[in-house]
Amino acid sequence: MLRNHLLICSLLLILCIPVYLLDHYSTKSTGGNWITLDFSGLLIKAYAIFIALSITISTLAIIYYRHVSLIKLHFFSAIISTTLIAIGFFFYNKFTDYSYRKKQSAITEKRQSFFNDIRINQWWFEPDNKNPKEIHVDLAIASPGRLAAQVTGNEDGENKKNIFSSDGEAQHLVKGAETVHYVFPLTINNPGKADKIEFTFHLFKHPLGETGIDDVSKIFKDSIDTNDDGTFFYEKLLPPLFRVP
């Protein structure tokens, strides 16, 4: 029985070669320019774990259950090995999911400390809201970095036609712990009254080309559903001043 057992184990080990080739040529990286999925090594690793469990279980079974046929022992050891792999995979997924949620919770908690890095103190139209040429904003900036911003004005209603938008501007260096006066020159895209104003600010705290969790992107608008979606902060926009300060 032991000789036949070693023969079966040898056959299982020899099967590693075709399994490796199948894994190598059928699980190459796939995806587009944005997302790449890499499953290489998954099949051979799973098979290696299966062999290790199957040989161990069947060897122990032969020692304690000599009266049972060898085929039955290997059959049940294969079933037990597959079951253990499935259970292990289940708990591994649970652990990975828990670790991911814990990490995301820590990131969200840390992000909240940057929420007030950009605040709008006041803002107004120039010369007025009926025929605006510019929008002026007084900002409270808590941290140093490079500040970029844009504003859009849309018509209220189903169509939400864009009335104006800000001209593109270069990033401004800010020192932090200061009040910044920001001027948005406007481009009129359509006639009408802009009822929905939305400001978007980006505060980059790292050198050009680098990013970090402490970078801040914040949107100010009339109504918000959340104050943080993991990418942008959101804050309810103050009404404009009707008298220029």
97 and 121 both lie in a single domain? no
127 and 23 both lie in a single domain? no
In a domain, 19, yes or no: yes
In a domain, 140, yes or no: yes
Strands 233-236 and 216-221 turn out to be parallel
In angstroms, the CA 16 to CA 22 distance is 10
162 and 182 both lie in a single domain? yes
What DSSP state is assigned to residue 168?
P
Query: Which tens digit of pLDDT belongs to each residue from 25-80?
Result: 776 655 444 445 556 777 888 889 999 999 899 888 888 887 778 888 888 899 99
Helix axes 42-64, 70-112, angle to 10 degrees: 130
178 and 124 both lie in a single domain? yes
In a domain, 243, yes or no: no
127 and 192 both lie in a single domain? yes
Domain harbouring 227, CATH code = 2.70.50
129 and 217 both lie in a single domain? yes
Residue 92: closest CA among 49, 57, 37: 49
In angstroms, the CA 226 to CA 212 distance is 22
177 and 230 both lie in a single domain? yes
In angstroms, the CA 98 to CA 26 distance is 30
106 and 24 both lie in a single domain? yes
DSSP characters for 230-243? SS-EEEEPPPPBSS
Residues 6+ apart with CB under 8 A from 234: 218, 219, 220, 221, 224, 225, 226, 227, 228
In a domain, 244, yes or no: no
In a domain, 41, yes or no: yes
Query: What total number of domains does the chain contain?
Result: 2
In a domain, 149, yes or no: yes
**Domain carrying residue 15:** 2-112
Q: How many residues does the chain have?
A: 245
| Element of type H or E holding 11 | helix 2-14
* Predicted local confidence at residue 141, as pLDDT: 96
In a domain, 241, yes or no: no
* Predicted local confidence at residue 24, as pLDDT: 79
Buried (b) or exposed (e) across 74-110, using 16+ Cβ within 10 A? beebbeebeeeeeeeeeeeeeeeeeeeeeeeeeeeee
108 and 138 both lie in a single domain? no
In a domain, 21, yes or no: yes
The mean pLDDT of the chain is 87
| Element of type H or E holding 178 | strand 178-188
Q: Which residues of the chain fall short of a pLDDT of 70?
A: 1, 27-39, 168-169, 245
> Which of 69, 94, 112 represents a domain boundary (last residue)?
112
72 and 15 both lie in a single domain? yes
> Which of 79, 96, 112 represents a domain boundary (last residue)?
112
Q: Name the pTM for this structure.
A: 0.63
> Which of 65, 89, 112 represents a domain boundary (last residue)?
112
84 and 122 both lie in a single domain? no
* Predicted local confidence at residue 38, as pLDDT: 59
85 and 149 both lie in a single domain? no
